[in-house]
Amino acid sequence: MSLPQNHRKLRHDELLQQRRSLEGIHAETRHPVSLLLYNIRSLYNVGSLFRTGDAGFITKLYLCGYTPYPPRKEIEKTALGAVDTVPWEYSPDAKLLIPRLRAEGLNVMALEMTTESRSVYSLKRKDYPLCLVLGNEITGVDDDVLELCSGAVDIPMYGVKHSLNVGVAGGIALFEAVRAWKMLES
Amino acid sequence: MSLPQNHRKLRHDELLQQRRSLEGIHAETRHPVSLLLYNIRSLYNVGSLFRTGDAGFITKLYLCGYTPYPPRKEIEKTALGAVDTVPWEYSPDAKLLIPRLRAEGLNVMALEMTTESRSVYSLKRKDYPLCLVLGNEITGVDDDVLELCSGAVDIPMYGVKHSLNVGVAGGIALFEAVRAWKMLES
């Protein structure tokens, strides 16, 4: 392998040229992937998921149950401005919201290891528009919420432990859903 | 879509059946992907990357520069036991370590948006065994370390902001490297 000459990070002005403008984004077609945060406890996980949702250009972020929602300074600190760039809605009762989203045509799937789950790496065109439900940091997605979903996807766990931080798991699943969508579209 | 009957989370004993045993892991062939953490500031990001490294069954985690390393109770709290399941090494000087790893045959690539970077979704067989370098939370991978790498990969950023939390970015890139490796192998 040859070492690139003058290999350097992109400067801030070069990054700015590549990115979408705040003014333009609300008119653009977003990826057909949404996230539903159900009883997430940590303000930092919520902020991180806003930031990841912006990077993935998702359709919407739903905040449910006792999941904290903006304005909260700890969320904004971690979201680094993404609370203004990701469409979001607070909806206290996931048991009302999920049937509503499914009636609107969304495929609502839990990100959870369940008796029915399949790999997140198996997404097909019919799985979109997709809404992934992320559950509480310790207890995951409750079974009574799981029953309202159309199914579940999981991230293959290859190690000794069997979990990921919810912000990391959300990022892996979201970017895989976007990758698969773009591949199916091309 | 039909609602699965009796859809429920896997119980702890069911998860245990699926996972590798602590006794057996050191004899098994790990994925040919390693992580090098260069001047990561946050104990929680380090702990989270241990946890992600366990889940991805990576070969090794290298901790460099002022990146904190075990034993530190904040790392262990976030790693949830993964400091015992992921092989790791503290090596203070990345500028000595990276040439050593490359001499040993590793393809050391920065996870960074650079003048030379290509998408992490373009990994080919010749890119393995791969070691991904993750840089500081604010400043990323310094240019003088970048020059020692064989190149750089980036995660496509689709939004208005242009960054991810380093633990999230590491998780996305690591799981993509594992996914691509398994697809190339199959």
Q: pLDDT tens string for chain A (186 positions)?
A: 556 668 899 998 888 888 787 776 776 799 999 999 999 999 999 999 999 999 999 999 999 999 999 999 999 999 999 999 999 999 999 999 999 999 999 999 999 999 999 999 999 999 999 999 999 999 999 999 999 999 999 999 999 987 899 999 999 999 999 999 999 988
User: What would the pLDDT profile of B5-28 be if each residue is shown by its tens digit?
Assistant: 688 999 988 888 887 877 777 767
Asked whether residue A90 is assigned to any structural domain, the reply reads yes
3-state helix, strand, coil in chain A (%, to 5): 40, 20, 40
Nearest CA in chain A to B10: A114
Q: Is residue A10, in this structure, part of any structural domain at all?
A: no
Number of domains forming the structure of chain B: 1
Q: Which of residues 60-79 of A touch B (CB under 8 A)?
A: 78
pLDDT digits (tens, 9 = 90+) for B26-56: 767 999 999 999 999 999 999 999 999 999 9
| B55, closest residue in chain A (CA to CA) | A159
In terms of residue numbers, what domain contains A108? 27-185
Distance CA B28, CA B24 (A): 7
Q: pTM of the full predicted structure?
A: 0.94
Question: Is the bond preceding B4 in cis, omega lying within 30 degrees of 0?
Answer: no
Across the interface, which of B10, B150, B158 has its CB nearest the CB of A56?
A: B158
Query: Best mutation site among B50, B142, B158, B185 for testing chain A: the one with the most A CBs within 10 Å?
Result: B158
Q: Please indicate, yes or no, if residue B44 is contained in any of the structural domains.
A: yes
CATH of the domain at B147: 3.40.1280.10
Structural domain includes residue B20? no
Please give the ipTM for the structure prediction: 0.94
**What are A175's two structure tokens?**
């970017």
